[in-house]
Amino acid sequence: MKPSPPIYSDFDEDLSMRDVVESFVIGLAERVDGLQDGEMAGDFGAISRAAGELAAAAREAGYPSIVDAAERVATASAARAGDEARKAIVELTELAQRVRRGSRGAA
Best CA proximity match to 9, nearest among 90, 88, 106: 106
pLDDT digits (tens, 9 = 90+) for 52-101: 999 999 999 999 999 999 999 999 999 999 999 999 999 999 999 999 99
For residue 48, is pLDDT > 80?
Answer: yes
pLDDT in tens, 4-43: 899 999 999 999 999 999 999 999 999 999 999 999 999 9
**Which of 8, 52, 7 lies closest to 31 in space, CA to CA?**
52
Alpha-carbon distance 48 to 56, whole Å? 12
Q: What is the pLDDT of residues 13-22, one digit of tens each?
A: 999 999 999 9
Say how many CA atoms lie within 13 Å of 9 toward its Cβ.
Answer: 25
For the chain, which domains are there? 17-101 (1.20.120)
